[in-house]
Structure 1
Amino acid sequence: MMARLALSAALAAFAFPALASAQDIVITNATLAIGDGSAPIENGTVIIDSGTVIFAGPAGNAPQSPAGGTVIDARGQWVSPGIFMPLTNLGLWDVGAVSESNDIRAGNSRFNAALDASTAVNYASQHISVSRAGGVTRATIAMGPSGSIFAGQGAAIDLGADTDAVMEAKSFQLVLLGEAGARLAGGSRVAAYAEFANSLHEAKAYANGNWAGEDALLTRADAAALVSVIDGSQKLYIHVERAADIRSVLALKQTYPALDMVLVGVSEGWMVAGAIAAAGVPVIADPLDNLPAQFEQLAATQSNVGRMVDAGVTVALGGLSGGITGPRTAPQFAGNLVALSKLPRASGLTWGEAMASITSVPAAISGFAGRYGVLANGAAGDVVIWNGDPLEVFSAPTRVFIDGVEQPLTNHQTRLRDRYRDLDQSDLPKAYDW
């Protein structure tokens, strides 16, 4: 037994080298991106004390640094908060075609709303390692739907190189309406809305002690999971694309005023941006929806995000579809929206707005306003040092800190690169010329 325990400990140490504790850090001479929507600050300073930011701003305004802290001269490099990626599947799969390593969907499960994505997070996933090397420090994750319009409960995670990834389990419930919901509910939007209304009705009955038992369409576990949705203590993420469907979803607030809704996808959001803003409902938009991919996206345009922001809608970049879960794609698409603002008759974002759309805004939508995605007094010490403008496609992180702890930037990709980059012909494997 002792030998097995020793072996397990050795393997664990090999796979996850011990990280240093939170450091006192002073970063000077930086081009500083606060992440709050403001423009970059030249000659900026960031001070982290015991893993928490205590100052970020112009060097001339900086207080006295903690004694004995590590001083990093950024030499003009860019410094930003860590990227916060909303609605990803990070940590829920390793190889898409290998079902044993893929926990994105549970097609044969008897449960739907009760599913808890936090129970399947693999902190050793290479997708997490690669994203961390790309400057991503926090994310919210969710499963995809299978046999119901409800995909289950998502979670908030950090991407630190340790064994405790989950920050908050059961942080939101994801439901699909529109075309996707119609397919899952029986072939019509009418059926999807009927299933949604019935589910909330049965959850309310369960909460009041009037559970219908065998006559209920939900399982007891699913009804219990939806109780926190109807009382507003758990966020409800609703995937919807068409303008008419968005209006129908916003109308749900009249029947269920406690719902804490977040719209996801929203390709035609620009058409009803005023209504979304008036309802005070935030949006997680897929910036790739610039052309119609399906009938409910006929009015899709890359100006969608910019027009919604101009109308006063709170918009973060993210989403389950579109392949935007990679490490560099979030900054790249944010940068595209900056470039879009320079095109005639197009609507994009300012640099500050674009940076906020992948840092402070998704953090706030996820319930962590002021804690993550921003360099401000009291925020977590999630800091990324970049070799150039973070929103330029050729820039990359040189150092990443989570809660004031420097993180490794290595992964399978970097190890393969380093292994084969400098090989000459004599180093090739035997029979390579086959």
Structure 2
Amino acid sequence: MRISQMVMGAVASLMLTVPALAQETVAIVGGRVLTGTSVVENGTVVISDGRVVSVGQGGAPAGARVIDAAGKVVAPGFVAVDSGLAGSEVGSIGGTNDLANRSNTLSAAFDVSYGLDPWSFTLPVARLGGVTRAVVVPQHPGSSGGHVHEHDTAGAGEGGYHTPGLFAGQAAVIHLGRGTDILVKPRVAMTAPFGEAGAGVAGGARGAEYTLFKETLAEVRLYARNKAAYERAGLRDLMLSRADLEALIPVANGDMPLIVTVHRASDIRQVLRLAREEGVKLILDGAEEGWLVASDIAAAGVPVLLNPVSNLPANFEVRAARMENAAALDAAGVVIAIKGNEGSVHRARETRYNAGNAVSHGLPYASAIAAITVNPARIFGMAGQFGQIAPGAAGDVVVWSGDPLEPLSQPSAVFVNGVEQPLEARNLLLRDRYRQQTPMPPAYRN
């Protein structure tokens, strides 16, 4: 079979069959249930019409399809934060990446939700790692994907022309269920790089970025108060386009959180100061040296998205990175969410491995489970809607062969919005195709 035919067959098998909305009632009985906030031994989880109906101890309701989870662990679907799922297919092929915007005239208004691909091969792979939701975030200098540079994003043009492109765009929440409508909520947060990467966008120095940030918000507030004058050209020239100005109004008002990528402890303190002065609602991303200023972060009530396995002093911004960062922040009272690796696209499934590593370095087990389930929903203003097994929450439930933070554990059933998902992905289909091929194609016999 030709490669193109093989790829088309894989796509059809994985995505083109769109399941109907779940109408049946499913009861998962006898398992150890991790609700996201507590543990129920020998529990029963009932799902109906796409949502969790009940969780507790007792038998299955009459007429329900019963899944025996005796000896297994039942957990909420995990949430990949700071992710590129459905927004990027192959990192080395620019045409498949809809996460990075290079426009000089559009920055804050960039909305990743319009570029999401529900047929992406990355979604089933992540789903097999227990990931059922993701917060898809635009890429920018300093992004965890590691493939974006200062000249590849809004803020600097080919000839060095600068605009105040301090913002990379707006994030979205998706679910990983099969079907064509994976968008849960667009525009859940704005994104911006700070520290060394942000300084590069602003002109080369950290002080320049902070000054430009404050001036930008001042202009946004000026525009918001004088829209009529702006429309009739009765307002002085502003640095941003109208689309960017409109997109930043919720940030300036403190209604939309700003995801700030920052690493160094001193930069974290300055960002917290900036948020106090400007009334901005922050989410810290990265914060490898956060443990040094954990009390400051906790006092500010700012959550952190982090990768707990970041522990190498790769540059001067992460000299004090350590594996105990997650434990220290959690102990200080900071709400944390644990990320996958390399932008949580092809390695989003490793989110649970990272949570397990954090446990091995002092993070309480319950806190690790919360950091990949309930905490992301809380951080992005969707508490109770997903990330936990509780009445009314989305029916995102995974049945595991054992401890979900143990790499050898595998899912035996995955539900997204109450619909059971196939336990297959393109990599497994390719494995099975060529393992069973007899005889092998000519190219493989030579």
Distance 2:49 2:445 in 1: 55
Does residue 235 of the first structure (1) align with residue 257 of the second (2)? Answer: yes
State the partner residue of 2:76: 81
Does residue 30 of the first structure (1) align with residue 54 of the second (2)? Answer: no
Q: Deviations over 1:178-225 (max 9, x none)?
A: 011011111111121122112211111111116586732211211111
Q: Deviations over 1:30-78 (max 9, x none)?
A: 1211112x3x443121112322212223x2xx4x744321111112111
Distance 1:41 1:386 in 2: 15
| Residues 76/327 of structure 1: CA separation in 2 closer, same or farther (3 Å cut) | farther
Equivalent residues, number: 408
State the partner residue of 1:3: none
* Unmatched tracts of structure 2, length 5 or more: 1-10, 141-152, 155-164
1:25-424 residue pairs with structure 2 within 5 A? Answer: 25-36=26-37, 38=38, 40-57=39-56, 59=57, 62=58, 65-145=60-140, 146-147=153-154, 148-209=165-226, 211=230, 215-257=237-279, 259-318=280-339, 321=342, 326-340=347-361, 348-423=362-437
Q: Deviations over 1:127-155 (max 9, x none)?
A: 11211222111111011121233110110
Task: Output the TM-score relative to the length of structure 1.
Answer: 0.89
Identical positions, percent: 42
8 Å Cα contact 1:133/1:327 also seen in 2: no
State the partner residue of 1:343: none
- Three-state SS of the structure 1 residue aligned to 2:52 is strand
8 Å Cα contact 1:93/1:103 also seen in 2: yes
- Three-state SS of the structure 2 residue aligned to 1:201 is helix
- Three-state SS of the structure 2 residue aligned to 1:55 is strand
Distance 1:14 1:320 in 2: 24
8 Å Cα contact 1:286/1:321 also seen in 2: no
* Unmatched tracts of structure 1, length 5 or more: 1-10, 341-347
8 Å Cα contact 1:178/1:189 also seen in 2: yes
Q: In the TM superposition, what is the alpha-carbon distance from 1:233 to its structure 2 partner?
A: 2.0
- Three-state SS of the structure 2 residue aligned to 1:168 is strand
- Three-state SS of the structure 2 residue aligned to 1:156 is strand
Q: In the TM superposition, what is the alpha-carbon distance from 1:408 to its structure 2 partner?
A: 2.0
Q: In the TM superposition, what is the alpha-carbon distance from 1:94 to its structure 2 partner?
A: 1.4
- Three-state SS of the structure 2 residue aligned to 1:183 is helix
8 Å Cα contact 2:76/2:389 also seen in 1: yes
Q: Name the Cα RMSD after superposition.
A: 2.1
State the partner residue of 1:4: none
Q: Deviations over 1:315-366 (max 9, x none)?
A: 11127856676243111011111222xxxxxxx2122111111111111111
Q: In the TM superposition, what is the alpha-carbon distance from 1:170 to its structure 2 partner?
A: 0.9
State the partner residue of 2:18: 18
Moved more, 214-223 or 135-144: 214-223
